[in-house]
Structure 1
Amino acid sequence: MAALLSAGMTPQDHLLDIGCGSLRLGHKAVPFLHPGHYWGTDASLSLMRHGRLTELPDPSRLPEDHLIEDTTFAFPGIPDTITLAIAFGVFTHLPHADLATTLQNLRRFPNLRATLFTTFLSDAPTSTRQPDGVVTHPDRPPYHVSETQVAQTVRNAGFTPTRLPTLLPRGQVLWTAT
């Protein structure tokens, strides 16, 4: 929530939470946003439904059809009203090509101001120990990529990359694509 609020999120925004799981962010964002302004995607519809029923103070503020099972980042059924998107801790566990696919597919949202996402950074062609001790890899989870590669991927998708100074758990780096 702090990252989204720093990015200017207001209750009027329409948020797309990519890889929302059991609504770790959703349980805070849904009460903050106007009803119906939160949309979540994840590979597991059952996990999202469970989170809706057990994590939200008022599940009626989040229509069940706002939780979309999506394993390809195609965002089926998500309306064009989306103004902000976040993928926190998603691309650290997926090959870098999935970030490129996601950003390309987000281009279809005409009102999108910014997408926030996290990565692990390293230029090393082999496993790397991040400052907090987690070991990342170029070829398996948790993945690391170079800062140059992330920035180029964001630019190739038609966005402007910004590496934010925010310190995140496990050494993840927070980015904004605007």
Structure 2
Amino acid sequence: MTSQWLFTGLVLLVGLERLAELVVSQRHAAWAFARGAVERGQSHYPFMVVLHSALLVGAVAEVWAADRPFVPALGRVMLALVVASQALRWWCIATLGSQWNTRVIVVPGLALVRRGPYRLVPHPNYVAVVVEGLALPLVHSAWVTALVFTAANAVLLSVRIRVENAALREIASPTGAPA
């Protein structure tokens, strides 16, 4: 079996993990909306879905079309980073519980979570996204996909983090008005 096929399998596994996230996210959204939640930032969400899908497709396409080599020293380090980013992502999901979502959904009256990775970094899930977005394509030297995704993701995350911070300030405000 060639390294290209193994890489394709890895990307498919990451794709399945993303589908699992969407299932969890749907359940959490239903839970939140049943408690009077309001969604923020809906306009950027479709761009996130497209960008994250493009990461997976682009990485595989670049490896096959450009015949990118597997460089063991680079590939092993990047694979370790991909695994670490997945662990961090699921630590975030477990820590936030029903409050975790792929969308920005605000449940009035819930306290901000300040445990787990959130006691260390304000947005640890986005650390996982950034690391994975760079590392996954580089497992098999798909450097164009890594660079393009990283640049586009930086722009998108700047919007997303502003929206999420505004929503979190709204939660933290005792009156419900923006703080």
Same fold (TM over 0.5): no
TM range (shorter): under 0.3
Quick check: which has more Rg, 1 or 2?
2
Q: What TM-score results when the alignment is normalised by the length of structure 2?
A: 0.23
Q: What TM-score results when the alignment is normalised by the length of structure 1?
A: 0.23
Higher RCO, 1 vs 2 (CA within 8 Å, ≥6 residues apart): 2
Structure with bigger strand share is 1
Structure with bigger helix share is 2
